[in-house]
Amino acid sequence: MQIAAIVGGGNVLTGDDVSARSVDWLSAAGCRAGAIVRPASTDELAAVMRACHGAHQPVVTHGGLTGLVHGAEAEPSEVVISLERMTTIEDIDPIGNTLTVQAGAPLQKVQEAAEGAGRQFALDLGARGSCTIGGNIATNAGGIRVIRYGMMRQQVLGLEAVLADGTVVSSMNRMLKNNAGFDLKQLFIGSEGTLGIVTRAVLQLRPPTSDVQTALVACPSFEAVTGLLAHMGQALGGNLAAFEAMWQSHYRLLTEQSGRHTPPLATDAPFYVILESLGTDAESHAALFSKALEAALEQQLIEDAVVAHSASQRQGIWDIREDIEGLIQTLAPLFTFDVSLPIAEMERYVAKVEAAITHDWPDGRMVTFGHLGDGNLHLSVSVGSHADETRHAVEAHVYSPLAELGGSVSAEHGIGLEKRAYLSISRTPEEIALMHTLKQAMDPLGLLNRHKVLAPAAG
């Protein structure tokens, strides 16, 4: 076999070695690909893609398999390209504040390497131990610190990618400023592996923030939540890094109702917010954070608060927010949604969707939380069935109101297969046509993550 000669026979998996693997975070189904190929370098991957291109063999890329939109699903006629052997951190430059890494490296490995060099890599996700840098780039991952540092796009200075025909595009820029022609890396960031397979990246590092101040607060109204966001942003002078909101439905379910977590605050408030500030001088930063909370209390933006005084207390607060396993166990069968919309419209939107769900399914339940500071909400909906017909009905309730609000059906998880039919809610016909043009130009045989993001072109 030509591919086995390139990567080694032990790195072409078939049969049970394929089906034993999952395809995303929530699915219990195994991988159905004809084979899994595990290259160890860009050169090996380029040779594999040249072979696949010559044989018109479609491929699907696998990273950490923490996706939620079926972007890693593969048919028996497809071959999976797994980057699990490409995990090397090649270089750290603490003067230029860059880190060069292969795309299969887990996010947490990069964070720890940056910390070891006296720097930090700003992106942070709940799936940090499993998700990979290549996957973060392919989906333009967001996470909990977007309001301070931006999305994954803002962390990437340069990258290298292999195209469908095996061509290697190496744009490993290490500079903050480089306006020499088109910024080609942007073609691959957020394109979900449909235009090329990212193999290496130059990431931007940041100065360390040695002091972390974390609090969980209860808010009496959504107006108070938005007021708190504005207040903390101004009072902390740019240190605010996370503003994570939990509707009562989420907080009460994962604490009092399920018994999975001890509630740090009473569960009767309508909204809860995790506030996190990053600073350098512990004493002055703690004083600034405390003063900001006291002012928020005086302004009746919050009605109760608890501040973490240790790493374990901080983790205990975040565990309530990040307990996806708890949501799955308590709400199964579960539909999950990742949307963005103007912050001012969130309360009305959530109430409208929840009313529609309970109207059609009186025993249905919706749980809401999200990165409210950057306009991103996560909805978890349980109506007692996981049938496709039911899913489509629920999706209509969740996605349709976004059109009039200028919202997006995907804030940070991508489109994959799951949201493909709803892309037109968030993108104009002209935008979608241009996406098809780019796909046709860069992958004319339609071999890379085929049918993901974009529906097959008519005719």
Mean pLDDT score, 203-210:
95
Which residues on adjacent β-strands are paired with residue 151? none
Sequence-ordered alpha helix ranges (H) in 361-427: 388-405, 423-426
For the chain, give the mean pLDDT. Answer: 95
Q: How confident is the model at residue 25 (pLDDT cuts 50, 70, 90)?
A: confident
For residue 303 the two structure tokens come to: 């009605």
| Residues 431, 336, 268: CA angle, nearest 5 degrees | 125
Find where tokens 């990246």 sit.
201
Please answer whether residues 398 and 380 qualify as being in contact, where contact means their C-beta atoms are separated by less than 8 angstroms: no
Helix (H) or strand (E) holding 246: strand 240-247
Q: What is the pLDDT of residues 141-158, one digit of tens each?
A: 998 899 999 999 999 999
Q: What is the pLDDT of residues 359-396, one digit of tens each?
A: 999 999 999 999 999 999 999 999 999 999 999 999 99
CA atoms of 67 and 69, how far apart (whole Å): 6
**Which pLDDT does position 420 carry in this prediction?**
96
**Which pLDDT does position 126 carry in this prediction?**
83
For residue 380 the two structure tokens come to: 């978890």
**Which pLDDT does position 233 carry in this prediction?**
96
CA atoms of 18 and 11, how far apart (whole Å): 12
- Give the count of alpha carbons within 13 A of 366, CB side only: 23
Q: What is the CA radius of gyration of the chain?
A: 23
Please answer whether residues 268 and 236 qualify as being in contact, where contact means their C-beta atoms are separated by less than 8 angstroms: no
**Parallel/antiparallel/unpaired status of strands 59-62 and 79-82:** parallel
Q: How confident is the model at residue 459 (pLDDT cuts 50, 70, 90)?
A: very low
DSSP 171-202: E----S---SS--GGGGTTTSTTSS-EEEEEE
Three-state SS for 75? Answer: coil
Q: What is the pLDDT of residues 244-262, one digit of tens each?
A: 999 999 999 999 999 999 9
Q: What is the pLDDT of residues 306-362, one digit of tens each?
A: 999 999 999 999 999 989 899 999 999 999 999 999 999 999 999 999 999 999 999
Give percent above pLDDT 90 in the chain: 92
Q: Which domains does the chain have, with CATH numbers?
A: 2-82 (3.30.43.10), 89-204 (3.30.465.10), 211-324 (3.30.70.2190), 332-425 (3.30.70.2740)
**Which pLDDT does position 130 carry in this prediction?**
93
What is the pTM (predicted TM-score) of this model?
0.93
Positive or negative, the CA dihedral 83, 85, 90, 92 is positive
Q: How confident is the model at residue 1 (pLDDT cuts 50, 70, 90)?
A: low
**Which pLDDT does position 458 carry in this prediction?**
57
Q: CA separation (Å) from 456 to 156, 191, 420?
A: 30, 16, 10
CA atoms of 213 and 204, how far apart (whole Å): 24
